[in-house]
């Protein structure tokens, strides 16, 4: 039995689901005593280093984990925050780490490598093994995995570095020493490559059906292309300029289709939660998370740190906050302190006014008087890790992004900006990135409508199409 350590730091559901998907048996821990009976252990994590260590100590996990990690026999896999906890400590805080390897956790520098990096590092990137390992055999074979992090592990001993990835600098994206191994990326959200790695961990070796050996199309593409879906009840709708919702179909089936198409990421926004004064529908979100092995973000009715933790605990990587961010900016700091900045996205709905734009809330119905770029800077300072920028007048029109708005906001912050509202073709994606300096692009109508009559048809470009069009 594989035990997934439950210490209140997110993404456990997705890991348990993937272990079962590849033919293994897994369950969440209910206490430290479970570790003694585990055949293998997974230490996952999404959030801040200090809270992770405090939770491990408060739960009584530190000593039992160390005993199994140091017995030389029990395979232990750390994922994302989990691998960072292997180290002596983090620049993120003051808590000492587990110190299983001689390493420190350090923050990406925005000016690293001569590039002006957007931090956090979010999206898909190439992992290059330095040596063969049961989880990453064939060092010459390229693999793409999903990352979402602001910090990375810096090892004292080069021998502990299993694989590296470049983001401004070359950093350790996987480490290994004896029976412990850790990945900075999320295998449980990395489609076929993640499934192959997890299958090898579960079955101690050959992964059966493996991902292609050839260099994948778009292996160097950094820009995430994100379907943005609007939840209304248990169905999906698509609006035009935030009005006139058109019913698209059942949300579960649509998410399954996008999962099968291996999209980069999926954003789900409940457009009625705030208006109805309710929180996230956790039962529905759990069903959605169980259906897919891709990165997920959710927004709608997120009003408390408990909401944030609950959504992340279901297997979502990020929460999206809109109205609450404008009405109580301090909430973003509390959410980031609890979950880490990389897990907190502030959504800005921007509407045109006589001179420029202003931020609107409550599904675009309430004017705030806030200027989007200024507000984005405030949200970055408060702890947001990403901005989802939606141009209200372009929403659903398929007439192209508001590139001037995107560039204004993207130039104002050092965190990634997702452009949304108006995409009608692949050239619009390229323009938002090249001219607007967006880090990622999102769209709705482009992925769900077909032809001039806007017939409902769920689609997504092929890797080859995206590789040719998007940097």
Write the CATH number for 314: 3.20.20.70
User: Could you tell me if residue 170 is inside a domain?
Assistant: yes
Last residue of a domain, one of 174, 203, 232: 203
**Is there a contact between 80 and 53 (Cβ–Cβ < 8 Å)?**
no
Write the CATH number for 148: 3.40.50.880
**237 and 364 share a domain?**
yes
Total number of domains constituting the chain:
2
The structure tokens listed for 349 are 């709905």
Report CA-CA distances (Å) from 168 to 117, 332, 384: 7, 27, 21
Measure the CA–CA gap between 90 and 113, rounded to whole angstroms.
21
pLDDT at 88: 98
**67 and 196 share a domain?**
yes
DSSP string across 58-89 = HTT-HHHHHHHHTSSSS-EEEETHHHHHTSSB
Residue 380 is part of which domain span?
224-469
Model confidence, pTM:
0.93
Q: How many CB atoms lie within 10 A of CB 306?
A: 11
pLDDT at 423: 98
Instruction: Indicate if 349 belongs to the active site.
Output: yes
User: Could you tell me if residue 80 is inside a domain?
Assistant: yes
Last residue of a domain, one of 151, 172, 203: 203
pLDDT values of the chain reduced to their tens digit, one per residue, 471 residues: 999 999 998 778 889 999 999 999 999 999 999 999 999 999 999 888 999 999 999 999 999 999 999 999 999 999 999 999 999 999 999 999 999 999 999 999 988 765 678 999 999 999 999 999 999 998 998 899 999 999 999 999 999 999 999 999 999 999 999 999 999 999 999 999 999 999 999 998 544 445 555 555 556 778 999 999 999 998 999 999 999 999 999 999 999 999 999 999 999 999 999 999 999 999 999 999 988 889 999 999 999 999 999 999 888 999 999 999 999 999 999 999 989 899 999 999 999 998 899 999 999 999 999 999 999 999 999 999 999 999 999 999 999 999 999 999 999 999 999 999 999 999 999 999 999 999 999 999 999 999 888 999 999 999 999 999 998
Last residue of a domain, one of 151, 170, 203: 203
pLDDT at 209: 47
> Nearest 5°: phi and psi at 307?
-60, -45
**Is there a contact between 316 and 308 (Cβ–Cβ < 8 Å)?**
no
**413 and 294 share a domain?**
yes
User: Could you tell me if residue 415 is inside a domain?
Assistant: yes
User: Could you tell me if residue 215 is inside a domain?
Assistant: no
Q: How many CB atoms lie within 10 A of CB 31?
A: 11
Measure the CA–CA gap between 349 and 218, rounded to whole angstroms.
31
Burial environment of residue 18 by CB neighbours within 10 A (0 to 12, 13 to 18, 19 or more)? buried
User: Could you tell me if residue 439 is inside a domain?
Assistant: yes
**240 and 160 share a domain?**
no
* Angle between helix 12-21 and 282-290 (nearest 10): 40
User: Could you tell me if residue 406 is inside a domain?
Assistant: yes
**75 and 138 share a domain?**
yes
Give Cα 53 to chain centroid, integer Å.
21
User: Could you tell me if residue 265 is inside a domain?
Assistant: yes
Measure the CA–CA gap between 313 and 309, rounded to whole angstroms.
6
Measure the CA–CA gap between 371 and 389, rounded to whole angstroms.
12
pLDDT at 216: 59
Catalytic annotation, pick one of 104, 160, 264, 349:
349
The structure tokens listed for 128 are 């290059």
311 contacts: CB under 8 Å, gap ≥ 6: 280, 282, 285, 298, 302, 319
């Amino acid at each position: 039995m594989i035990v997934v350590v439950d210490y209140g730091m997110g993404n456990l559901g997705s890991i348990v689901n993937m272990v079962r998907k590849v033919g293994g048996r897994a369950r969440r821990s209910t206490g430290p005593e479970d570790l003694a009976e585990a055949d293998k252990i997974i230490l996952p994590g999404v959030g801040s280093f200090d809270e992770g260590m405090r939770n491990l100590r408060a739960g009584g996990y530190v000593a039992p984990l160390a005993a199994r990690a140091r017995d030389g026999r029990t395979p232990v896999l750390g994922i994302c925050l989990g691998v960072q906890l292997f180290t002596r400590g983090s620049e993120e805080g003051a808590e000492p780490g587990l110190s299983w390897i001689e390493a420190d956790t350090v923050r990406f520098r925005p000016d690293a490598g001569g590039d002006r990096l957007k931090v956090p590092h979010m999206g898909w990137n190439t992992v290059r093994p330095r040596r063969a390992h049961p989880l990453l055999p064939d060092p010459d074979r390229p693999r793409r995995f999903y990352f979402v992090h602001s910090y990375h592990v810096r090892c004292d001993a080069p021998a502990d570095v299993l694989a590296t990835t470049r983001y401004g600098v070359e950093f350790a994206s996987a480490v290994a020493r004896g029976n412990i191994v850790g990945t900075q990326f999320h295998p449980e959200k990395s489609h076929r490559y993640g499934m192959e790695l997890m299958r090898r961990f579960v079955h101690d070796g050959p992964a059966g059906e493996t991902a292609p050996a050839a260099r994948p199309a778009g292996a160097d593409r950094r820009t995430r292309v994100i379907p943005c879906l609007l939840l209304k009840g248990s169905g999906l709708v698509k609006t035009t300029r935030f009005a006139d919702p058109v019913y698209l179909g059942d949300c579960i089936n649509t998410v399954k289709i996008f999962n099968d198409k291996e999209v980069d990421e999926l954003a789900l926004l409940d457009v009625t939660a705030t208006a109805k004064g309710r929180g996230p529908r956790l039962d529905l979100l759990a069903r959605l998370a169980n259906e897919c092995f891709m990165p997920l973000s959710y927004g709608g009715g997120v009003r408390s740190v408990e909401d944030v933790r609950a959504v992340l605990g279901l297997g979502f990587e990020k929460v999206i906050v809109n109205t609450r961010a404008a009405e109580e900016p301090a909430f973003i700091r509390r959410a980031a302190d609890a979950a880490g900045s990389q897990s907190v996205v502030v959504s800005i709905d921007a509407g045109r006014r006589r001179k420029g734009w202003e931020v609107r809330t409550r599904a675009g119905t309430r004017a705030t008087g806030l200027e989007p770029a200024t507000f984005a800077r405030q949200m970055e300072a408060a702890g947001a890790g990403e901005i989802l920028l939606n141009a209200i007048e372009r929403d659903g029109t398929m007439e192209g992004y508001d590139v001037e708005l995107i560039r204004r906001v993207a130039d104002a912050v050092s965190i990634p900006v997702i452009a949304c509202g108006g995409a009608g073709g692949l050239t619009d994606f390229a323009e938002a990135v090249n001219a607007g300096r967006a880090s990622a692009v999102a769209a709705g109508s482009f992925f769900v409508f077909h032809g001039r009559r806007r017939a409902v048809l769920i689609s997504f470009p092929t890797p080859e199409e995206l590789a040719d069009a998007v940097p």
